[in-house]
Amino acid sequence: MQANPELRIMGLDFGSKTVGVAVSDPLLITAQGIETIERKEENKLRRTLARIEELIEAYHVEEIVLGLPLNMNGTQGPRAEATLAFKDKLERRTGRSVHTWDERLTTVAAEKAMMETGIRRENRKEYSDEMAAVLILQGFLDHRRMRQGEV
């Protein structure tokens, strides 16, 4: 499949208080963080979904990858169930395909990456959700390219 140079893939790290957002470059090779959406209340998603829709339009997003927080043994807990419910709402609201991606250890990897780039400990929380979204999307992009034999 040849990538349409205008279309991108969005990566999301869905949390109870924030949603980290990343988008691919037009060639679907790299992921870049774009923002962290602050959520006022855990059960209220209207503003969050509206902001995601704005970003979909602004970045010409064709598909979405949503981090799925599985337990270390691969089972689904309450956070994974909440994420899957969000996935359903996201698909209905945006009309886009939403893929889930195992996000185990992305928070740890995000912390490590921020340490390595010199982001001060007190500033890391500000970037951790966005960085996790980048790692989720980058993992998906790399896997997709390997599966298509492009690597």
Q: What does the chain come to in residues?
A: 151
Does residue 101 form part of some domain?
Answer: yes
Average pLDDT of the chain? Answer: 86
Contact 63, 8 (CB under 8 A): no
More confident residue, 147 or 25: 25
Q: Percent of the chain having pLDDT more than 70?
A: 81
Give the pLDDT band (50/70/90) at residue 1. very low
For the cut 80, the answer to whether the pLDDT of residue 110 exceeds it is no
| Mean pLDDT value across residues 8-35 | 95
Q: How far apart are CA 113 and CA 71, in angstroms?
A: 22
Q: How far apart are CA 135 and CA 103, in angstroms?
A: 8
Total domains present in the chain: 1
Residue 128 in tokens = 């951790």
More confident residue, 35 or 43: 35
What is the four-CA torsion angle of 100, 104, 107, 112, rounded to 10 degrees? -120
Residue 118: which CATH number? 3.30.420.140
Does residue 39 form part of some domain?
Answer: yes
More confident residue, 75 or 9: 9
DSSP code for 2: P
For the cut 80, the answer to whether the pLDDT of residue 78 exceeds it is yes
Residues of the domain holding 60: 8-147
Among 26, 16, 9, smallest CA distance to 129 is for 16
* Segment among 20-24, 47-51, 65-69, 128-132 with least mean pLDDT: 128-132
